[in-house]
Amino acid sequence: MMGHFNSIIAMASNAAKKAKLPIAAGSPTLKNDENAPEKTSSQSCKTTPAAANCTPPITFRTDCPDLKWLGIYFGIYIGVGTTSFYALKDHIRGKKTNDFIDSLYLCVVTMTTVGYGDLVPHSFVSQLICSIFITVGMCLVGIVVKIAASYLVVKQQMVLVNALHLSKKLGPIEALKEIENLKIDYTKCLISLIAMAVHFVIGIFVLVTVEGMDFTDAIYCACTTMTTVGFGDESFSSEFGRTFGIVWIATGTSCLGQLLLYIAEVYTDIETKKLVKSVLTSDIIAKKDLEAADNPENDQVYGAADFILYKLKDMGKIKQEDISVAMKDIDTGIKDLDVDHQSDSSQKK
């Protein structure tokens, strides 16, 4: 959406520059647009030279969170957790393979809320450390949710701002036409679904070949793991299986979270499109409203001119005093028209 609007705004800006017209302050423009060839079509971002630079405004890019720090937080979190569980390896019971791999495996299984239960703390100290680890993990999940929510909100705001810029340059009616031509993109959702399906098949293959599970048990284990339910009756038990499970569980839950984000983004795009249409429509006086204004009702509107004045007052563009002055001018104009009409009639007679 933002790329589409930015493309149209850039073309309108180029046209204004070539016509030596002023450009609205604050309008996002694209770099090196002076060298771009003139285009008259604004129906598709892909068919314009601005498509190559269809990027969100600088304000949007600076508002996007730096995911590098989130990765650092999770890296420290996993490192500290693995070290703690390794130090407390004698206080953890369950089927063990390799001390380091088991510690990292327990860390990932706990962090992703899968919680198989095949490795559990059984002393007071280990249970206390594990409780702290879980609490910190929930805080990090809250940060992830906050980042996703901020991304969706900022995107919605910038789409609305760009639509309003487009409305100022081309008019609300043309802007509404562009809104109608926008298509909701489901590509990322489909790609995420395909990635999850491939990830699911790989997991089943390893569970069958390495862990020696039946095909139905492998499907059952993969489903409970990918959805982070993790009943624990079926899990990874070999050293290679747990090594694979560390990577597979972490990437699987990430894919699931990404899919949920993309679904939320599609829903946000749909609602944003409705919001933008509602905002732009509020600035347009419909033809049927003007026709209805010719029929006086409730002693509030006495004609199309009155309707427009009161509409401007509702929008906050003018005050009541301005309406009084305008009505006097309208009455004076009507009287002058009547006088001219009478004089023309007398001359014809």
Q: For residues 41, 185, 159 and 43, what is the CA-based torsion angle, rounded to 10 degrees?
A: 10
Lowest mean pLDDT among 61-70, 194-203, 283-292: 283-292
Strands (E), the chain: 92-94, 119-121
At 93 the three-state DSSP class reads strand
pLDDT reading at 301 higher than 50: no
Domain 62-293, CATH among 3.40.50.300, 3.40.718.10, 1.10.287.70, 2.70.70.10: 1.10.287.70
CA distance 279 to 181: 17
At 36 the three-state DSSP class reads coil
CA distance 184 to 186: 6
Q: Write out pLDDT tens, residues 317-334.
A: 777 777 777 777 766 766
Considering the chain, what is the average pLDDT of its residues?
76
Domain range annotation of the chain: 62-293
At 295 the three-state DSSP class reads coil
Higher pLDDT, residue 302 or 21? 302
CA distance 127 to 93: 12
In the chain, % of residues over pLDDT 90: 37
Cα 4 to Cα 16, 63, 252, 300, 302, distances in angstroms: 19, 20, 33, 42, 42
Q: Write out pLDDT tens, residues 119-166.
A: 999 999 999 999 999 999 999 988 888 888 888 888 888 888 888 888
At 119 the three-state DSSP class reads strand
Q: At what angle do helices 172-181 and 124-170 cross, to 10 degrees?
A: 130
Confidence (pTM): 0.65
At 39 the three-state DSSP class reads coil
Cα 272 to Cα 61, 153, 305, distances in angstroms: 19, 10, 33
Q: How confident is the model at residue 24 (pLDDT cuts 50, 70, 90)?
A: very low
DSSP percent split of the chain into helix, strand, coil, nearest 5:
70, 0, 25
- The mean per-residue pLDDT over the stretch 37-63 comes to 38
- The mean per-residue pLDDT over the stretch 4-27 comes to 50
